[in-house]
Amino acid sequence: MLEISTIIGYIAVVGAMVFGISYADGGFDFSLLENFISGPSVFITIGGTFFALLASFPFSSFKRIPAHIKMVMSKDKTNPYEYIETITELSREARKKGLLALEDKALAFEDEFLKESVLLIVDAIEPDKLKIWFGQKLDYMRQRNNAERHLYDRGAAFGPAFGMIGTLIGLVNMLKSMNLDEGPEMLGLNMSVALITTFYGSLLANAFFIPMSNKLEIAQEKEMLYKEMIVEGVVSIKEGENPKYIQEKLMNFLDVDRVQQKETDPEDKPSKPRKIGIGRQKQK
């Protein structure tokens, strides 16, 4: 399912640009859009930005772009209450049968982080060492997320810069070939062509790179919140805490609005976890 706000945002940006360019004298003249189409300007701005990013980052960074676009364009279907229900059930199982009883259940989980976390507490590792290990892993994930977003942050800086470079190139060419006999009309035409690259650069930064970075940050922060919740839950199981206390403690990770939504929306209640949830066990 697509993220509706992202779709509306991009459509609205395109609509606003088309409206602003084509609306004149109380009506629309779509032929004015041709004034903003320039092949060399596209190559200088978009091509220059891409090649500068290619020179700044390893090629492996670009392989993640399709996954980032999918993450930004897709609606998050994760049900955090299913995490809580799953961890609470595991804590009850551990109290009744011991931690070793959780191994088979963990192997059936689809979520790799949840599976790995539960398998770790089954081993004879002290809770303090587990907290250190989990802390290091979460720190690494945050660093990786920051590095991935840095690509788009640099793109937001390169876009306007190459737009200005294209404008300077256009101005130099215009002044070099300027003929006084052509009149001010031709000078204005050449000047408008030179400025198109600045428009492309600003549009590239503000309509693609900055929204991508912002949306990616929101999605990654939510993902990290769920992972922190898993860590807190499995460490609590390792320490033998009461299942009810674990459940209430994990609920603190969710904001008040989502708690209220859970109380009013029966589909989000922990007693009826969704089948698409991350903590779901595979069918044997």
Residue 1: its pLDDT value, please? 74
Comparison of pLDDT for 191 and 277, the residue scoring more: 191
Closest CA to 77 of 108, 45, 110, 37: 110
Q: Mean pLDDT in the chain? A: 85
3-class DSSP state of 28: strand
pLDDT at 8 over 60: yes
Which segment of 24-33, 127-136, 187-196, 256-265 scores lowest on mean pLDDT?
Answer: 256-265
- Residue 42's contacts (CB-CB under 8 Å, 6 or more residues apart) are 200
Residue 183: its pLDDT value, please? 57
Residue 273 backbone dihedrals phi, psi, to 5 degrees: -65, 145
3-class DSSP state of 74: strand
C-alpha 228/C-alpha 84 separation (Å) is: 12
Residue 275: its pLDDT value, please? 37
Residue 2 backbone dihedrals phi, psi, to 5 degrees: -80, 150
SS3 content of the chain, % helix, strand, coil (to 5): 80, 5, 20
What predicted TM-score, i.e. pTM, was given to this entire model?
Answer: 0.77
Percentage of residues in the chain with pLDDT exceeding 90?
55
pLDDT at 265 over 90: no
Residue 277: its pLDDT value, please? 40
Q: Which amino acid is at 94?
A: A
